[in-house]
């Protein structure tokens, strides 16, 4: 117990002075450079992975002592405390910016999630009892970034993506968003959120986020925008005249998310399902109007009808003959 503290206590017991005077004396005691002290400002730091952190620190020690060594450590083992600048995990990344007087500021670069813990400043003087560690130390929390997003959304929904960190970054942090690795410029976010007011199918993609001026970038997260089928279109192969016995394939092409179920309709009845409708060995009774229907949980659409006109060999001969006549005339 220092002289100042005893003095304050004596004052209290003997004279019971007004409170403000006690506080005044206590304050004098607090800033006295006759005492050991380390103060960290701020005492909690939230830092982004890969960034550079400056731990600001000042210290005092009693007059009459001579500083022999000052260093930063992550252990509270007294004489066995390890100097971080001699720790291979830190030595390349740690730079002492302070002095041997009062400033113990240190810089740590390329921080990793493993760096998250408390750091202490230790003072060693020439006297055997002249050793001191500033406790509690400064707490460093290193965070990465994670995109928080709904997995499935439907076109027209209002969608909010959040760029999450495990501790609160400074208010000055400006968030940047990427879709498929391209920076998004057209929309403005608020704080760490990206607002897609009426989400469109083109907004589907892999989203990631970062903080302006920092290299760390979050893992990408898939945003999947659902929408009803687009009106389907039928393609026929082979194209051209279809003759009895041919193999004919009808293909129903329709964009949708999730993929639609396709069914085939001929003259009001369902004749098949699946994107491809094969008719092997087509016969004249396969002639007629075909449509396909595309349906998913967000809606359904019908194609326009296509007409299959299956000719028998005789008809072909007849048609050729007609054309031949026409050419002659
Ligand atoms: C301590 O040193 C750092 C780095 O040189 C400097 O930025 C800071 O202002 C100093 N602090 C005090 C209290 O002198
Ligand atoms: C349809 O026919 C084509 C060509 O003959 C064939 O490659 C394809 O596998 C068939 N598809 C189905 C679904 O039967
Ligand atoms: C279509 O014709 C084939 C023979 O070419 C016959 O086997 C089949 O039953 C006919 N189908 C209908 C619906 O008339």
Our mutation pick for probing the ligand 3 site, out of 245, 271, 285, counting the most ligand atoms within 8 A of Cβ, is: 285
The percent of residues in the chain predicted with pLDDT above 70, rounded, is: 84
Mean of per-residue pLDDT scores for the chain: 87
- Residue 88: Cβ-neighbour burial (10 angstroms; 0-12, 13-18, 19+): exposed
Mean pLDDT in residue range 248-258: 95
Mean pLDDT in residue range 70-87: 89
Ligand with the closest atom to the CA of 280: 2
β partners of residue 308:
288
* pLDDT of 88 above 60: yes
What local confidence, expressed as pLDDT, does residue 7 receive? 44
Nearest CA to ligand 3 atom 9: 285
Nearest CA to ligand 3 atom 13: 285
pTM of the full predicted structure? Answer: 0.72
* pLDDT of 160 above 60: yes
Supply the DSSP string of 286-319, one letter for each residue: G-EEEEEEEEETTEEEEPPPEEE-EEPHHHHHHH
Contact residues of ligand 3, CB 6 A cut-off = 283, 285
Range of weakest confidence among 105-109, 144-148, 168-172, 202-206: 168-172
Ligand with the closest atom to the CA of 99: 1
pLDDT tens-digit series, residues 260-290: 999 999 988 999 999 999 999 999 989 999 9
Atom of ligand 3 nearest to the CA of 281: 5
When pLDDT is cut at 50, 70 and 90, the band that residue 27 belongs to is very low
pLDDT tens-digit series, residues 118-133: 999 999 999 998 999 9
What local confidence, expressed as pLDDT, does residue 320 receive? 67
Q: Which two tokens stand for residue 191?
A: 């704080």
Instruction: Tell me, in angstroms, the distance from the centre of ligand 3 to residue 287's CA.
Output: 11
Would the CB of 249 count as within 6 Å of ligand 2? yes
User: Tokens 């396709």 label which residue?
Assistant: 262
């Amino acid at each position: 117990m220092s002289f100042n503290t005893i003095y304050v206590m004596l004052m209290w017991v003997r004279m019971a002075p007004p409170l403000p005077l006690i506080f005044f004396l206590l304050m004098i005691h607090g800033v006295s450079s006759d005492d050991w002290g380390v103060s960290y400002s701020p005492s909690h730091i939230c830092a982004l992975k890969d960034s550079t952190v400056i731990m600001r620190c000042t210290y005092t020690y009693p007059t009459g002592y001579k500083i022999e060594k000052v260093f930063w450590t992550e252990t509270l083992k007294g004489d066995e405390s390890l100097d971080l600048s001699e720790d291979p995990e830190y030595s390349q990344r740690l730079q002492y910016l302070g002095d041997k007087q009062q400033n113990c500021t240190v810089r740590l670069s390329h921080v990793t999630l493993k760096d998250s813990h408390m750091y202490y400043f230790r003072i060693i003087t020439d006297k055997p009892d002249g050793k001191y560690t500033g406790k509690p130390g400064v707490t460093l929390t290193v965070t990465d970034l994670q995109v928080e997003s709904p997995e499935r959304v439907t076109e027209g929904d209002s969608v909010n993506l959040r760029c999450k960190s495990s501790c609160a970054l400074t208010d000055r942090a400006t968030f940047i968003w990427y879709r498929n690795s391209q920076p998004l410029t057209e929309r403005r976010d608020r704080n760490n959120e990206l607002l897609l007011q009426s989400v469109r199918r083109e907004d589907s993609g892999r989203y990631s986020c970062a903080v302006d001026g920092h290299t760390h970038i979050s893992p990408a997260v898939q945003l999947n925008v659902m929408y009803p089928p687009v009106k389907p279109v039928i393609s026929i192969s082979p194209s051209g005249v279809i003759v009895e016995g041919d193999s004919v394939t009808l293909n129903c092409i329709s964009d949708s998310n999730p993929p639609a179920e396709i069914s085939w309709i001929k003259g009001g009845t369902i004749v098949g399902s699946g994107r491809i409708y094969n008719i092997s060995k087509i016969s004249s009774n396969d002639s007629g109007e075909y449509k396909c229907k595309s349906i998913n949980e967000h809606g359904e659409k019908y194609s326009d009808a296509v007409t299959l006109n299956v000719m028998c060999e005789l008809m072909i001969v007849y048609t050729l003959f007609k054309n031949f006549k026409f050419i002659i005339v």
